[in-house]
């Protein structure tokens, strides 16, 4: 039964992951900054001037999700400047990931974000399979 479930979940995820060829949606990252782990989520809606990028930091509950005012948003790439903290991010869509570079205070680092559905699927797969390692490619990349 467990094997049948895993096969079904794999088929569904393959269809969903293969069809996710757009930048819109919820993206998640977990990367190291100054030796500390930082979680970041992006919610991307629309394209171009009608689009919107909302950034949230789940590890920082006092900091409410912020709508980026300075950004460029295309169907396969994005750039934003978070003026309040001096952070910028440039990324390109590559499969189920946004791959790019973050910069702040003169420092730059590679930062990728994974489409949130893929992460949730991998967490469920990991749970049901009893795996010790995640199947997702989480950052740093």
Which of 8-12, 29-33, 60-64 has the weakest average pLDDT?
Answer: 8-12
Asked if the model's pLDDT at residue 49 lies above 60, the reply is yes
Give the tokens for residue 128: 């049901």
User: What percent of the chain clears pLDDT 70, i.e. is strictly above it?
Assistant: 67
C-alpha distance from residue 98 to each of 36, 71, 131, 139 (Å): 21, 15, 26, 10
97-104 β-sheet, strand order: 66-67, 52-56, 36-45, 25-33, 107-115, 97-104, 87-94, 77-82, 70-73
Count Cβ atoms below 10 Å from residue 92 Cβ, excluding itself. 13
What pLDDT, in 10s, does the model give residues 81-94? 999 999 999 999 99
Domains of the chain, CATH where assigned: 2-129 (2.40.128.120)
DSSP H stretches of helix in the chain: 2-19, 116-129
Give the tokens for residue 119: 């992460």
46: left (phi over 0), alpha (psi -120 to 50) or beta: left
Higher pLDDT, 37 or 127: 37
* pLDDT at residue 140, rounded to an integer: 33
């Amino acid at each position: 039964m467990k094997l049948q479930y895993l096969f079904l979940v794999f088929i569904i995820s393959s269809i969903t992951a293969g069809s996710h060829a757009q930048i819109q949606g919820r993206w998640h990252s977990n990367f190291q900054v100054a030796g500390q782990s930082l979680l970041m989520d992006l919610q991307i809606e629309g394209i171009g001037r009608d689009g919107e990028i909302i950034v949230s930091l789940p590890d920082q509950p006092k900091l409410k999700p912020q709508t980026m005012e300075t950004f460029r948003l295309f169907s396969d790439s994005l750039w934003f400047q978070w003026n309040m903290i001096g952070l910028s991010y440039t990324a390109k869509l590559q499969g189920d990931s946004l791959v790019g570079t973050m910069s702040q205070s003169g420092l730059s680092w590679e930062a990728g974000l994974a489409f949130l559905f893929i992460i949730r699927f991998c967490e469920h797969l990991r749970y049901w399979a009893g795996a010790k390692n995640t199947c997702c490619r989480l950052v740093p990349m």
